[in-house]
Amino acid sequence: MASGGRSPIGEFTLSSSSRSSMNSLLLTGILVIVILSLVSWFILSQQSAAISNRNLAMAAGTNAAVLKSSKKRNNTVVITGPMGAGKTALWCYLRFPNNKGAPKTQVSMAVNSAEVSIDGTSVYLVDVPGHQKHRFDRDAFMPAARAIIFVVDSAEVTRKARHTAEFLYDVLANKHVQQNEIPVMILCNKQDDPSALSNVRIKTMLEDEIDKLRSTRQADLGSLRSIGGSAGAGGLGAGNEDDDDDAAAAEKASDFLGYEGKRFAFEHLSNPVQINESSMAMGLDIGGMEQIKAWVSDAFNA
């Protein structure tokens, strides 16, 4: 071996040291990338939350403006009903009558509204989201309503019969709906679905569920009266912060639809209720749109 040459052991030692340094640098680089990614994700999440909050605030402001305009016009048609039934699709069809094919829609998170002309009648058309948190929006529009379209998913109504009936009960029992005898159309949508029930079947199902709900609400009212009497006898209840909630619950429980002692039927209501079928999927319009337009026009010109 030459004195000036490198030994194989030296070469191996240098090579291993270099690889160790490179591995350390690589691990450090990966760690830095992971940390930067986490920081970026956190910043984007905060920005997204801020944007969502601004959008919700804007939506709330829009709803207030819509309500003010609705009350001023007093020619409002309220489209309501459970989530996913097709309310926004109906609103789009009536809002954009020249569109061919169903507009692409998704579950609404805010009120949609527009001034439209339906068979020559000027209508302020309002689509209220079906989520429970929008029930106050729905009730706020009732004083200005001239007609109400309650949209039902004909393919899901069996599974959601109780929920749908509770929703419809609150609409029909609303004091403004009863006092003003506002006409209501129950629109059995999605008739293109093979599992859809006919409007006749849905009518019977909803009447049965509302009949059961009447008994439940009357029982609730009896319980509230009993509790109220006990509180009064004990000198309690005055100034109780729960009084408003109890009063609201009592008012809801006391809303009795139809005739006592008789099975509930929509025909027993003072305001007219009509049951129609429709489908707004895949550009179809099964026996619905022209009848809806004619019904709205009749409601305004009656």
Contact 100, 173 (CB under 8 A): no
d(Cα 271, Cα 183) in Å, to the nearest integer? Answer: 6
Whether residue 53 is predicted with pLDDT greater than 90 in this model: the reply is: no
Whether residue 5 is predicted with pLDDT greater than 80 in this model: the reply is: no
Q: Give the model's confidence band at 122: pLDDT under 50 very low, under 70 low, under 90 confident, else very high.
A: very high
What's the topology of domain 74-232+246-301?
Rossmann fold (3.40.50)
- Strand pairing category for 273-277 and 112-118: unpaired
d(Cα 82, Cα 75) in Å, to the nearest integer? Answer: 23
Residues 6+ apart with CB under 8 A from 250: 221, 224, 225, 228
Q: Which of 217, 201, 124, 221 is nearest to 161 (CA)?
A: 201
Domain boundaries, the chain: 8-73, 74-232+246-301
Task: For the full predicted model, state whether its pTM sits above 0.85.
Answer: no
Average pLDDT, the chain: 77
Q: pLDDT value at position 217?
A: 79
d(Cα 289, Cα 267) in Å, to the nearest integer? Answer: 24
Strand ranges of the sheet holding 112-118, from the earlier edge strand across to the other edge: 112-118, 121-127, 76-80, 145-153, 184-189, 273-277
Whether residue 54 is predicted with pLDDT greater than 60 in this model: the reply is: no
Tokens 């619950």 belong to residue: 249
Whether residue 111 is predicted with pLDDT greater than 70 in this model: the reply is: yes
Neighbours of 70 (CB within 10 A): 23
Contact 288, 199 (CB under 8 A): no
Q: Give the model's confidence band at 286: pLDDT under 50 very low, under 70 low, under 90 confident, else very high.
A: low
Q: pLDDT value at position 223?
A: 58
Compare 167 and 236 and report the one with higher pLDDT.
167
Q: pLDDT value at position 95?
A: 87
